[in-house]
A = this chain, B = another copy of it.
Amino acid sequence: MTMNNAGGRRKPPTIHDVAREAGVSRGTVSRVLNGGHYVSPPALEAVNAAIRKTGYVVNRHARSLITGRSDSVGFLLTEPQERFFEDPNFNVLLRGCTQALAAHDIPLLLMLAGTEDERRRIKRFITAGHLDGVLLVTSHSADPVAEELHKAGVPVVQCGKPMRSGSKVSYVAADDRDGARDMVRHLLSLGRRRIGIVTGPLDSPGGVDRLAGYKEVLAEAGVGIDERLVVSGDYSRAAGEAGAERLLAQAPDLDAVFVASDLMALGALTALRRAGRRIPEDVAVGGFDDSIAATEATPPLTTIRQPYDRISAEMVRVLLAQLGGEDPAAVILPTELVRREST
């Protein structure tokens, strides 16, 4: 007589129920659950049938208690909260990672650490062993959390190159420098010569590399670097607007701007338009990311596509490999110029 207490939460079947149903020991059931090695075909079949019949699902807590693994990973965003909403890139990354993990049946724990306080609490949580590994996203990559977790023995994969070289932390990044080079070459090919730049944060390798690409190509083309054409930003829309204003003031003759993120480019468009510049006739504008912001801009932005889908997939792949015992790894993914109406 089965105690099928409908309503309320029924007590789920355990490995013991499955064993009884299949006429084998609990050890054998466990072996089936863990890959089916050293199990005879008939036993395997009986267990699988019993699992189906009982609707058995492994109790992760019991498993974790003994294996020491939690079979879950954290997605840690150390970013002021506002930025998380404003910047569509975070979303894309979060979605991609969630899905890639779901394919492995691994739940993702979302952790938002915008303040120092939150970071402390979260580090405590993570180092307590509640997570097998961490996917880390941050734009001001000067912050030491990756290094700290790594030192505490927690597998980490960072999105974007870490600031301190010599770090052994895994990361996945787009080829920022190469992307920037493509964009500036494109602008030059359009005949533009007074090309400004609104950089990303210069305490992050991404910001630095995009600026480096810009300077290299101009130098190679024999176009000198005019420091009045270089202003820095922080990837936010507001910074793009302020940056473009500064450029207009310092170098009113500019005929193109490479803005180091699409979101900043949105702000730059606003400022340029307010100043009466036509896009792209008077000033060509190039972005970076190919986020939703690029297609929604007026006019739609020519930009450098970061392969976010691949980035998140690779982050998960590298992390899982590390959990499987492999060494940390660095992955650099190629970018691509996407031509739209802003250039």
- Residues of A at the B interface (CB closer than 8 Å) are 7-10, 12, 57, 59-62, 64-65, 70, 72, 75, 81, 84-86, 88, 91-92, 94-95, 98-99, 102, 105, 107-112, 118, 121, 124-125, 128-130, 151-154, 237, 292, 296
What 5 new A-B contacts, CB under 8 Å, besides A85-B92, A94-B110, A105-B121?
A: A59-B65, A62-B65, A81-B95, A91-B91, A102-B112
Given known A61-B65, A121-B102, contact A128–B12 (CB-CB < 8 A): yes
Question: With the chains together, A105 CA to B130 CA distance in Å?
Answer: 12
The distance from the CB of A239 to the nearest CB of chain B, in whole angstroms, is 15
When C-beta atoms are compared, the residue in chain B nearest to A237 turns out to be B296
The reply to whether A152 and B94 form a contact with Cβ atoms under 8 Å apart is no
The reply to whether A85 and B292 form a contact with Cβ atoms under 8 Å apart is yes
The distance from the CB of A322 to the nearest CB of chain B, in whole angstroms, is 12
- Which residues of B lie under 8 Å from residue A88 when comparing CB positions? 85
Question: With the chains together, A107 CA to B107 CA distance in Å?
Answer: 11
The reply to whether B128 and A9 form a contact with Cβ atoms under 8 Å apart is no
The distance from the CB of A203 to the nearest CB of chain B, in whole angstroms, is 25
When C-beta atoms are compared, the residue in chain B nearest to A94 turns out to be B110
The distance from the CB of A117 to the nearest CB of chain B, in whole angstroms, is 10
- Which residues of B lie under 8 Å from residue A7 when comparing CB positions? 151, 153
- Which residues of B lie under 8 Å from residue A124 when comparing CB positions? 57
Question: With the chains together, A86 CA to B85 CA distance in Å?
Answer: 11
Question: Which of A61, A70, A98 gathers most chain B CB within 10 Å?
Answer: A61
Partner of A59, one of B99, B129, B153: B129
Question: With the chains together, A99 CA to B107 CA distance in Å?
Answer: 19
The reply to whether A102 and B118 form a contact with Cβ atoms under 8 Å apart is yes
- A-B pairs with lowest CB-CB distance, top 6: A9-B153, A57-B128, A61-B64, A61-B65, A61-B61, A110-B110
The reply to whether B91 and A85 form a contact with Cβ atoms under 8 Å apart is yes
